[in-house]
Amino acid sequence: MNIIKKFALVAGMGALLSSAAYADGLQGKVIGFSQIGSESGWRAAETSVTKAEAAELGIDLKFADAQQKQENQIKAIRGFIAQGVDAILIAPVVATGWDEVLTEAKEANIPVVLLDRGVDAPEDLYLTSVASDQVKEGAVAGQWLISTVGDKPCKVVEIEGTVGSSPAINRKKGFDEAVAAVPTITIVRSQTGEFTRSKGKEVMEGFIKAENGGKDICAVYAHNDDMAVGAIQAIKDAGLKPGTDILVVSIDSVPDIFSAMVAGEANASVELTPNMAGPAFAALDAYLNNGTIPPKFIITESKLYTPADDPQGEYDRRKGLGY
Amino acid sequence: MADTARPVVQARGIVKVFGQHRALDSVDFEVRAGEVHALLGENGAGKSTLIKILTGAYQPDGGEVLLDGAPVQFTDPLHAQSHGIGTVYQEVNLLPNRSVAENLFLGHQPTRFGIVQRKQIYAQARELLATYGLEIDVKAELGSYSVAVQQIVAIARAVMLSGKVLVLDEPTASLDHNEVKKMFEVVERLKARGLGIIFITHFLDQVFAISDRITILRNGQLVGTKDLNQVSATDVVRMMLGKDLAFHQQVVGAAESVQGPKQVEFKSMGRAGRVAPFSLSLHEGEVVGVAGLLGSGRTEMARLMFGVDPADSGEVTVGGKSVSIRNPAQAVAAGFGFCPEDRKLDGIFADLSVRENIIIALQAKLGWFRALNHDEQIEVAGRYAEALDIRAANHDMPVKLLSGGNQQKVILARWLAIDPSFLILDEPTRGIDVGAHAEIVRTINRLREEGLALLVISSELDEVVAYSNRVVVMRDRAMVAELHGADIAPSVIVAAIAENTAATGGTA
Amino acid sequence: MKRLNWKGALLRPQFAALAAVLFINWLLFPGFFDITWQDGRLFGSVIDVLNRGAPVAILAIGMTAVIATKGVDLSVGAVMAIAGAVAAVMVTSGSPAIVAVAAALAVGLLCGLWNGVLVTYLEIQPIIATLVLMVAGRGLAQLVTEGSIVTFSDPVLIFIGTGAFLGMPMPVVIAVCLMLLATLAVRRTALGLLIEAVGVNRSAARFAGISSGVLLLVVYTFCGFCAATAGLIVAGDIRGADANNAGLWLELDAILAVVIGGTSLLGGRFSIPMSVVGALIIQAMNTGILISGFSPEFNLVVKSGVIILILVLQSPLVSQWVSARTTALPVRGPKRKPL
């Protein structure tokens, strides 16, 4: 991929995603960012958005890719401390084992902000953590379904994430609780699609066979967009119209779900924003310049996208982020 | 000194049976304090079985083991070691990545209040090795020293832990001439200290260099125990190979006069470190017997001829035309066949059927795309199974269910199926019963009459004499003699094998 | 070459296991055997079993030959990902579909050849040799796709994954063709016997004049080709190359299918069609679980329980016991003939 073109796109995005204009608040500050790696498209997008945000604010961002290893992250953080950076962002690869290095940062008086995942360490060791609320993501999807089907009876099939993973547990919880309030909406089947497109397709095929050739299914809720894309193909293969005969709602808002929306085959997607850095920088600005202590947990917005939200535009914008 | 000493360990009437096979049949053996007692015999003679009984690895099915005159029953080698019997094997059984001192004392470190006294270990190790004439850095890794030093360390450890009897199981097999000398100095020292030493080796010159007495086993039976100064090398070879000295002259056919044209010729073929260059030609309707002790290079020669190990010198001509034999597939293409010594490892396909085992070489020769169909397979297998009288309930049963003799015939049938011009048989009668023996010998004679050129390696001198038109003798990885006509007699062969043994260096 | 005793063959435990799994599926879901005609193709749960089982069946075809030589190929899942990635990236950058498919298959052949060279000429143990590509291969695929799912809309590629021929899904058609071709190739030529000979005793094979090196190269290369074919199907099916997940852990399913099919991991006797049956048993189970409505937490427990049962039924001990009880019916197993 053409790197210059990519950067140009990212810079354009940055202006849009930037949460606010803090007049040269972090200009010239040095901030270290220890990223997990690039195991998924979303992760790659988070990295490019963070870099774009930093560039926008004039931050000198020191980026370190840990390649899925905690020891690499700890090394990188020690490096940041030694360099005397003004702040550190960490997307922690695991939850445990951070106490020591966070204490070192605290003793060096460097504020630490955690991105998109929490850690099992005393809260006073870090400034704040920025993350999405996975339960809320499920709830937003559920709310959308309730408002769309109204009081008509609706049988929902649910394609879950990997069994035992926290997004699968939480996104299920949020959705199930939301639709439980409406007795006409029932979840008739639930299976794991392991967060992959091909498993999502296979599971949906099974659901369709089991529910009268799919004619009894009113909506499918998938724990991520990839599985929804697979499910859409299964619905089409069964001779039904996704988005019309069966409503499709999912979470993440990756580019491919927007192209499905453009084709009228997907109905809604809740965004897991890759812009964790925006709120983090805002909190750091307030803290470093005014001494304002931010709340311990900053929850990012779980924005709902539907075909009404310029899906083609969203697709084009996101395609440049490395999804 | 040996004649006055008392026996330390005695074995009386030892019997050991594996399944149907009597590995040891009422064997007597003893080793006295202060003697080196060589234990000799070809493969399968029962040497290692006897040693395993003496060191507690096996329990005898009959007879008894006496230690200092009192019967003992060792449950395992550790038990035997604690009673004074230690063993050192050809492959050093120590830890190459630990220091010499640690290896000496592993499991027996001198400790104080449970703490290993490192300094003390080093001092003791140096002291101990000095008594073996070895002055080396005991803190260095064992693996950094030569095999000879490692062997001596292993001996020192074994002697320290046992102290009465030391079993040396082919300790010199991978040592060079000087290292062997060094090893023998150590053995002399131990002998002087009054240890009884059992020495197992294939090198006759080493036997004569160091031993006081020898005991010879053959086919699980005791041939005899002799004082070394009462026997010659020829006697020893005869005892190892021959049949109870009843050597009868046997004239074979009209010897070389009837043989046909030259079939295959090997010219100064050799491979460094394995076999010295040799030349040999075989004619149609000729059997060349190969005699020699184990390790003399006889199997190595056959492997070279068949391309199992590629030769690094020499050339091969078949029917007057030069051919390249770099691997067995080329040998098969040239019309060679090879029945290997280790049938189970290199010969049979245990899980495949008798039929498939017979046709496999022919199929390999024909190639992938000229498959024998089912009927052709049945026909070929049937023809050769009948010709060799292979007794199998049916040809679809796995070959592993056949007896050893029938398996050997299956491999023979496999080669006959390719209509070979030259056949190598390595110990064709080993491990098969007496009846099948005679049958194999008859088959060899018949194949010769049919015009095949055969090379037969065997330790059974009577058999070699019975079917060979010529006999070549191997010694120290070289072809040392070629015997014709009247010279093809066990006594002459034995003399040729034993010749100069005491003078040649037993280097590996 | 071998005379198949159909009556005997159908009495093999694998067919009984397949029938049992299908029967249980029918109990759980009465519409299981319903097949309808829709949009020019057959449609139904049984078709799903065939269609979804096709990739693993195709892997198992190649894997059978490898395992028969006493080897194993752990890299097939990764090779699937590479092949899918290559085809997807090529069509999205404008290459004709035929070229992209040919390139993907060529990459698969190369991957197999690589494994074969490691095993044959460097004499690395197959499990280690193919582990190299298993780990590195997925990284390679991610490199090709730059870490994201490469979605495409090329009709040819999509047809390979989701099209139909005479009403049958293309993956099924491809799997059946490959199975027939491979079976003919090994049984109508001497390849099958020579592969078995090498697997039973490689040293004896050498002494018998078999060029086992070339044979192993061919076998591993063919396995790579099968993996690439499966990779194309999986990519075509989801209209995208998912380097992170395509073929993930499928090497284990393929090995399992071969073992269920009765080929020993110790090499020797093998049967390609029976491995395909093994793959179908696994998929019938997966599909059964999907439509059963059980909570997904039970998936792996149910699956492992059934597999243990099948393997126990196939064990020499049990089959001896069974054949002792049914001496009237001569069961003709490949290896465990009552004697």
More confident site: A14 or A82: A82
Q: What is the mean pLDDT of residues A7-35?
A: 62
Non-local (6+) Cβ contacts of C249 within 8 A are C77
Q: Which domain holds residue B317?
A: 260-335+420-501
If asked whether residues B217 and B347 sit together in one domain, one would say no
d(CA A306, CA A309): 6
Q: What is the mean pLDDT of residues C214-231?
A: 97
If asked whether residues A78 and A205 sit together in one domain, one would say no
Closest residue of chain C to B398, computed from CA coordinates: C335
User: How many domains is chain B built from?
Assistant: 3
If asked whether residues B218 and B199 sit together in one domain, one would say yes
Give the pLDDT band (50/70/90) at residue B5: low
Residue C104 resides in a domain? yes
The DSSP 8-state label assigned to residue A97 in this structure reads S
- C287 in A contact zone (CB under 8 Å): yes
If asked whether residues A23 and A127 sit together in one domain, one would say yes
If asked whether residues C210 and C322 sit together in one domain, one would say no
Give the pLDDT band (50/70/90) at residue A179: very high
Q: Please check the confidence at residue B333 and state whether its pLDDT lies above 80.
A: yes
Straight-line distance from the first to the last Cα atom of chain C, in angstroms, rounded to the nearest whole number = 23
**Which among C146, C147, C291 is the nearest to A209, CB-wise?**
C291
Q: What is the mean pLDDT of residues A193-217?
A: 93
If asked whether residues B460 and B317 sit together in one domain, one would say yes
The DSSP 8-state label assigned to residue A242 in this structure reads B
Q: What is the mean pLDDT of residues C335-339?
A: 37
Looking at chain B, which subunits does it touch, using at least 3 CB pairs closer than 8 Å as the criterion?
C
Provide φ and ψ at C23, rounded to 5°: -65, -45
Give the pLDDT band (50/70/90) at residue C328: very low
If asked whether residues C285 and C159 sit together in one domain, one would say yes
If asked whether residues A112 and A172 sit together in one domain, one would say no
Q: What is the reported pLDDT for C38?
A: 84
Q: What is the reported pLDDT for B179?
A: 80
Q: Please check the confidence at residue A6 and state whether its pLDDT lies above 80.
A: no
If asked whether residues C149 and C197 sit together in one domain, one would say yes
- pLDDT tens track for B87-119: 887 776 788 888 888 888 887 766 666 676 778
If asked whether residues C128 and C217 sit together in one domain, one would say yes
If asked whether residues A117 and A46 sit together in one domain, one would say yes
If asked whether residues B396 and B281 sit together in one domain, one would say no
More confident site: C23 or A40: C23
Mapped onto helix, strand or coil, the DSSP state of residue A194 is: coil
Q: Are B167 and B86 in contact (CB under 8 A)?
A: yes
CATH code of the domain in which B313 resides: 3.40.50.300
Q: What is the reported pLDDT for A16?
A: 40
Report in angstroms the alpha-carbon separations of A54 from A30, A264, A281, B18, C105: 10, 36, 8, 81, 44
Q: What is the reported pLDDT for B204?
A: 80
Mapped onto helix, strand or coil, the DSSP state of residue A249 is: strand
Residue C318 resides in a domain? yes
Chain C positions in Cβ-Cβ contact with residue B345 (cut-off 8 Å): 201, 203-204
Residue B1 resides in a domain? no
CATH code of the domain in which A284 resides: 3.40.50.2300
Q: What is the reported pLDDT for A20?
A: 44
Q: Please check the confidence at residue A140 and state whether its pLDDT lies above 70.
A: yes
More confident site: C339 or C131: C131
A256: left (phi over 0), alpha (psi -120 to 50) or beta: alpha
Q: Are C47 and C162 in contact (CB under 8 A)?
A: no
Contact check, Cβ <8 Å, C151/A233: no
If asked whether residues A191 and A107 sit together in one domain, one would say no
With tokens 């690499």, the residue in question is: A72
d(CA B352, CA B435): 26
If asked whether residues B184 and B320 sit together in one domain, one would say no
Residue B248 resides in a domain? no
Q: Which of B371, B395, B419 is the last residue of a domain?
A: B419
If asked whether residues B301 and B154 sit together in one domain, one would say no
Q: Which domain holds residue A211?
A: 134-271
Q: What is the mean pLDDT of residues B457-464?
A: 84
- pLDDT tens track for B231-271: 888 888 888 876 543 434 444 443 554 567 889 999 999 99
Amino acid, single-letter form, for residue B307:
G
Closest CA to C221 of C69, C85, C115: C115
Structure tokens at A83: 């360099």
If asked whether residues A262 and A283 sit together in one domain, one would say no
**Which among C191, C201, C209 is the nearest to B349, CB-wise?**
C201
Q: What is the reported pLDDT for A10?
A: 41
Q: What is the reported pLDDT for C6?
A: 56
d(CA B77, CA B58): 9
Burial of C37 (0-12, 13-18, 19+ CB in 10 A): exposed
If asked whether residues A165 and A65 sit together in one domain, one would say no
User: How many domains is chain A built from?
Assistant: 2
If asked whether residues A145 and A58 sit together in one domain, one would say no
What is B459-493 written as a DSSP string? S-HHHHHHH-SEEEEEETTEEEEEEEGGG-SHHHH
Helix (H) or strand (E) holding C78: helix C76-92
d(CA B121, CA B116): 8
If asked whether residues C240 and C325 sit together in one domain, one would say no
Closest residue of chain A to C44, computed from CA coordinates: A209
Residue C75 resides in a domain? yes
If asked whether residues A71 and A8 sit together in one domain, one would say yes
Burial of A109 (0-12, 13-18, 19+ CB in 10 A): exposed
d(CA B338, CA B412): 8
Contact check, Cβ <8 Å, C299/A163: yes
Distance from CA of B200 to the nearest CA of C (A): 30
If asked whether residues C216 and C315 sit together in one domain, one would say no
Closest CA to B461 of B412, B496, B409: B496
Q: What is the reported pLDDT for C121?
A: 93
Distance from CA of A88 to the nearest CA of C (A): 26
Q: Which domain holds residue C324?
A: 300-332
Contact check, Cβ <8 Å, C207/B328: yes
Residue A279 resides in a domain? yes
User: How many domains is chain C built from?
Assistant: 2
If asked whether residues B22 and B115 sit together in one domain, one would say yes
Closest residue of chain C to A163, computed from CA coordinates: C297
d(CA A150, CA A154): 9
Q: What is the mean pLDDT of residues A129-138?
A: 95
d(CA C320, CA C300): 30
If asked whether residues C150 and C233 sit together in one domain, one would say yes
Residue C263 resides in a domain? yes
If asked whether residues B361 and B496 sit together in one domain, one would say no
If asked whether residues A72 and A138 sit together in one domain, one would say no
More confident site: B16 or C330: B16
Residue A318 resides in a domain? no
Q: What is the mean pLDDT of residues C126-132?
A: 95
Q: Please check the confidence at residue B499 and state whether its pLDDT lies above 90.
A: no
Helix (H) or strand (E) holding A251: strand A247-252
If asked whether residues C328 and C253 sit together in one domain, one would say no
Q: What is the reported pLDDT for C2?
A: 44
Q: What is the mean pLDDT of residues B272-284?
A: 90
- pLDDT tens track for B136-176: 888 888 888 887 888 888 888 888 888 889 999 888 766 77
Partner residues linked to C262 by β-bridges: none
Q: Please check the confidence at residue B326 and state whether its pLDDT lies above 50.
A: yes
If asked whether residues C281 and C308 sit together in one domain, one would say no
Model confidence, pTM: 0.78
CATH code of the domain in which C122 resides: 1.10.3470
Strand pairing category for A154-160 and A219-222 = parallel
If asked whether residues B130 and B203 sit together in one domain, one would say yes
d(CA A182, CA B4): 108
If asked whether residues B357 and B226 sit together in one domain, one would say no
d(CA C20, CA C281): 9
Interface of chain C toward chain B, CB-CB under 8 angstroms: 1-3, 188-191, 193-194, 196-197, 200-201, 203-211, 268-269, 335, 337, 339
Residue B460 resides in a domain? yes
If asked whether residues B137 and B184 sit together in one domain, one would say yes
Closest residue of chain B to C187, computed from CA coordinates: B371
Q: What is the reported pLDDT for A4?
A: 44
Give the pLDDT band (50/70/90) at residue A232: very high
Structure tokens at C94: 């404008």
Residue A305 resides in a domain? no
Q: What is the reported pLDDT for A109?
A: 94
d(CA B50, CA B174): 23
Closest residue of chain C to B302, computed from CA coordinates: C207
If asked whether residues C220 and C325 sit together in one domain, one would say no
Q: What is the mean pLDDT of residues A51-61?
A: 93
If asked whether residues B405 and B429 sit together in one domain, one would say no
If asked whether residues A124 and A141 sit together in one domain, one would say no
Q: Please check the confidence at residue B202 and state whether its pLDDT lies above 90.
A: no
If asked whether residues A154 and A248 sit together in one domain, one would say yes
Distance from CA of A276 to the nearest CA of C (A): 20
Q: Please check the confidence at residue B3 and state whether its pLDDT lies above 90.
A: no
Show the CA angle centred on residue B106, arms to residues B101 and B107, nearest 5°.
150
Q: Which of B231, B251, B277 is the last residue of a domain?
A: B231
d(CA C130, CA A210): 40
Chain C positions in Cβ-Cβ contact with residue B350 (cut-off 8 Å): 200-201
Chains B and A in direct contact, meaning 3 or more beta-carbon pairs closer than 8 angstroms: no
- pLDDT tens track for C241-254: 999 899 999 999 99
Q: What is the reported pLDDT for B502?
A: 44
Please write down the long-range contacts of C329-335, taking CB distance under 8 Å and 24 or more positions apart. Answer: C329/C11, C330/C8, C331/C8, C331/C11, C331/C12, C332/C5, C332/C8, C332/C9, C333/C12, C333/C262, C334/C262, C334/C269, C334/C271, C335/B351, C335/B398, C335/C262, C335/C264, C335/C268, C335/C269
Closest CA to C65 of C186, C157, C153: C186
If asked whether residues C284 and C306 sit together in one domain, one would say no
Residue A224 resides in a domain? yes
Give the pLDDT band (50/70/90) at residue A173: very high
If asked whether residues C245 and C195 sit together in one domain, one would say yes
Q: What is the reported pLDDT for C40?
A: 85
Q: How far is CA B69 from the centre of its chain?
A: 33
The number of C-beta contacts closer than 8 angstroms across B and C is 90
Closest residue of chain A to C144, computed from CA coordinates: A1
Closest CA to A91 of A125, A129, A121, A127: A129
Q: What is the reported pLDDT for B169?
A: 86
Residue B246 resides in a domain? no
Residue B236 resides in a domain? no
Worst-scoring range by mean pLDDT, A195-199, A245-249, B437-441?
B437-441
Q: What is the mean pLDDT of residues C190-204?
A: 95
Q: What is the reported pLDDT for C325?
A: 67
Contact check, Cβ <8 Å, C339/B372: no
Q: What is the reported pLDDT for B495?
A: 86
**Which among A41, A195, A238 is the nearest to C147, CB-wise?**
A41
Structure tokens at C178: 């490959």
- C43 in A contact zone (CB under 8 Å): yes
Mapped onto helix, strand or coil, the DSSP state of residue A195 is: coil
